Each structure stands twice: as C-alpha cells, then as structure tokens.
C-alpha cells in the first residue's frame, strides 16, 4: 500500500496544478493548506496585488478558525493585530432577559477574535509567497468556468489577453461571482428584505473584550471589540429602516444607535464611514460538477448574526484540503471525491444556515406576546449549561 507522501508525489507528477478562482482569505487559506502538503496550486485573483491590504472591514474569527491559521504558521503575525472576544453578551431591547458566554467556562483562551480583512489577506499572501508550489496570478478576471467528465477549465483575462487553464480540480472561492452561467450549479436563495449597516464606533468606556449581540424589534445588531475602545458595528434591519441612517449626521446617528443599544459602554463618541449591503440566505444546489467544487461565500451565504459565514468558509477550505490529500491521483476531482467532500460539510453548513435563519426569524419581529417569551428564553438559556456548551462548540468548531 502506498504511503501518503508517495501518493502526493504522484499527484504532483500526474496532474496539472489545482486551480483556485478567488484569492481572498478562504481561497488563500485553501492554497496554503494544499501547498503545505507539497501540492501545486495556481490562484487567480481579480484584484491587483496588495489591493485588499488596506481594507479595514472587520472579520469575526471563531476560536476554531484561529487554530487553522495557527497550524499554518500565519497566526503569529496576526496575534498583535487581533482583538480577543472573551465574553459574548446577548440581550433584547426592552426586556431584562439576557445571557452571557465566557471563554474561561469552556477552557478556551477566547471565544473568538476580531481582525481586519486587510491584515489577514496580507499575512496569507506573505505566507503563500514563500511556497514554491504556488503560482499567484493577480488581475486575472475569470470569464468562463466549465467542466467535463475529465477536467475543468477556467478562461480568464490578464493584461488584455485571454488565457485558459485546465486541471483535474478547479475550486471556485470567489464569493462575488455569479454561478448562473456554470452548468450544473444552481443556488437556492432567500431574500430577507433587510440590509446590514457596517461601520466602526468609539465608546466612552473600554470594551473589556466583550462582544454584544443586541436584538431589537427592527433587527439584530452586533458590536464587536476592535482595538482599545473601538467596536465594529453590524446593524441589520429592513431596508427602509437602515437606508435613512446612512445620511444622518454623525451626532444623530450615534444618538439613535445609543437609544437602541443602551448604556453598557457609556456614550458613543465617534463613528466612521457607514456602508450598507442587502442580506440574503443562499445555499448551493449542485446537480453534478465533476472536477469543479465551490467553497466559502460562493457556496453559501448567511445572515451576519452570530458571525458564522466566514468561519464556515474556512472550515470548507480545511475539509476540502483533507479530502484532496486523502484521494488517490486517479480520483482527484472525481465525482466520488467531491461527493465525499460535500458529505463532510453537509452537517456544518446546514447547521449554520438553520441557526442564523432561526435567530433572525425569532428575534427580528415585535409581535404581541413574543417579546416576553424571548426574554424568558434568554434568561432560561443563561442557566442551562449543556445548551450553552453545545452553542459555544458550534460557534467555535462547527459540527
């Protein structure tokens, strides 16, 4: 029976590089996971090299995601730039019901971390630049992705010219790309009719590494510690409620926000640029796409409540890398291999989609009598330790 290293050597010799479309954090993590196993990888990224490094958008990393980055040797460069979440405080406006989760109760150094998209992208790209088996092509815009029984191909534009690459395995990790033109791929989508407003605010009092999940009749808001006294804010609600807040003066916005959030961190002193985007829940429904697999936000999109989406994407990358390494050379990219991968991700992905959708449906309305039940439920949840243990494990590691 052949050993793992011999199996990997055969893959490198017999197959063209694995192609990853999308060099964001999920695609880059997959590339690094594969390169660490000696596999050849080509990454196609539409943006210029370094274009993402200044992006300050906050990512909420679970404890499990931190461990993935730690194993890859990336976390050491990120630790000083990340803000730990040691406590999660969950409450509902207008009621006394609340619950708290503390990292030390679950033998974890933190429940999660807040990190900028730019810092994570820069660290992953730096690690990839040191891998001899990785080829990174920037400003490569994928125009067409197709697949046959034997290979998958990507046609892309680079420096004004069209190129085509083929491989026994193509991975689509570009969350902003439409899948409509790819045969065999369809998405089931639920439009919430809600938008998410994102920004950064500074509070009067230190956050003490506490993240807040606040449910209001208009929709949930998440306040994540990000820096010494700053918070990254994700405030969701119906479009007609969120859109007017984009044009409010800073003072009026902070006043309205404080009214909904309360006094837990004192007054809010300043707010940065506000942006909004529509929210939806979507899940990939694959008919059959041998040699082509979709991961991350390209495969599933979740409501940002509970911060599950990005972490599910990193677990996609880790699981796919494990499936690739375990496959024999002749099975790489086969329907059999990709079916095994999909089976490994089904429980985690479905659980994340159902969990976030449940929270939105339960906590984003103000029906008569429901508020009291929610308040009682939060209070009850706070004292049922096995349920809290299960939730923390789900949020940290997935299934």
Dump the DSSP string for 66-106.
Answer: HHHHHHTT-HHHHGGG-EEE-EEEEEETTSS-EEEEEGGGG
Query: How far is it, in rounded angstroms, from Cα 362 to Cα 355?
Result: 11
In DSSP terms, 100 is beta-bridged to 89
Overall CATH class of domain 76-116+191-278+369-397: alpha beta
H or E element, residue 298:
none
Residue 99 burial class via C-beta count within 10 angstroms: exposed 0-12, middle 13-18, buried 19 and up:
buried
CATH topology of domain 4-52+121-188+285-358: FAD/NAD(P)-binding domain (3.50.50)
* 285-316: b (≥16 Cβ within 10 Å) or e: ebeebbbbbbbbbbbbbbbbbbbbbbbbbbbb
Mean pLDDT of 97-104: 83
3-class DSSP assignment, residue 185 = strand
Q: What is the pTM (predicted TM-score) of this model?
A: 0.86
Confidence of residue 14 (pLDDT cuts 50, 70, 90): very low
**pLDDT the model gives residue 324:** 97
CATH 3.50.50.60 residue ranges of the chain are 4-52+121-188+285-358
In this model, does residue 306 exceed pLDDT 70? Answer: no
**pLDDT the model gives residue 91:** 84
3-class DSSP assignment, residue 382 = coil
CATH 3.30.9.10 residue ranges of the chain are 76-116+191-278+369-397
Confidence of residue 22 (pLDDT cuts 50, 70, 90): very high
Please choose, from the candidates 238, 131, 142, the residue with its C-alpha nearest in 3D space to the C-alpha of residue 182.
Answer: 142
């Amino acid at each position: 029976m052949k050993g793992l290293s011999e199996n990997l050597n055969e893959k490198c010799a017999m197959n063209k590089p694995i192609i990853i479309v999308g060099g964001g954090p999920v695609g880059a993590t997959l590339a690094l996971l594969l390169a660490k196993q000696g596999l050849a990888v080509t990454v196609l990224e539409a943006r210029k090299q370094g274009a993402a490094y200044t992006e300050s958008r906050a990512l909420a990393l679970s404890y499990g995601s931190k461990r993935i980055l730690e194993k890859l040797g990336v976390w050491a460069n990120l630790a000083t730039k990340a803000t730990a979440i040691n406590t999660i405080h969950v409450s509902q406006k207008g009621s006394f019901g609340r619950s708290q989760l503390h990292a030390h109760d679950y033998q974890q150094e933190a429940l999660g971390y807040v990190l900028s998209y730019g810092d994570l992208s820069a660290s992953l790209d730096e690690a990839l630049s040191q891998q001899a088996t990785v080829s990174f092509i920037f400003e490569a815009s994928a125009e067409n992705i197709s697949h046959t029984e034997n290979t998958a191909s990507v046609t892309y534009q680079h420096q004004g010219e069209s190129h085509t690459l083929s491989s026994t395995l193509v991975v689509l990790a570009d969350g902003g790309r439409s899948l409509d033109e790819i045969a065999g791929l369809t998405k089931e989508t639920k439009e919430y009719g809600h938008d998410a407003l994102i920004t950064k605010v500074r509070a009067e009092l230190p956050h003490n590494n506490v993240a807040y999940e606040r449910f209001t009749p208009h929709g949930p808001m998440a306040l994540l510690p990000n820096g010494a006294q700053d918070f990254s804010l994700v405030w969701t609600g119906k479009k007609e409620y969120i859109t007017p807040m984009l044009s409010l003066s800073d003072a009026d916005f902070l006043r309205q926000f404080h009214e909904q959030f309360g006094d837990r961190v004192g007054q809010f002193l300043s707010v940065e640029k506000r942006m909004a985007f529509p929210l939806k829940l979507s899940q990939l429904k694959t008919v059959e796409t041998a040699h082509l697999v979709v991961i991350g936000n390209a495969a599933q999109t979740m409501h940002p409540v509970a911060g599950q989406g990005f972490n599910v994407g990193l677990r996609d990358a880790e699981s796919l890398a494990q499936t690739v390494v375990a496959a024999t050379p002749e099975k790489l990219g086969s329907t059999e291999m990709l079916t095994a991968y999909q089976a490994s991700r089904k429980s985690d992905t479905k659980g994340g989609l159902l969990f976030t959708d449940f929270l939105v449906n339960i906590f984003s309305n103000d029906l008569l009598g429901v508020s009291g039940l929610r308040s009682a439920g939060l209070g009850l949840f706070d004292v049922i330790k096995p349920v809290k243990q299960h939730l923390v494990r789900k949020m940290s590691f997935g299934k």
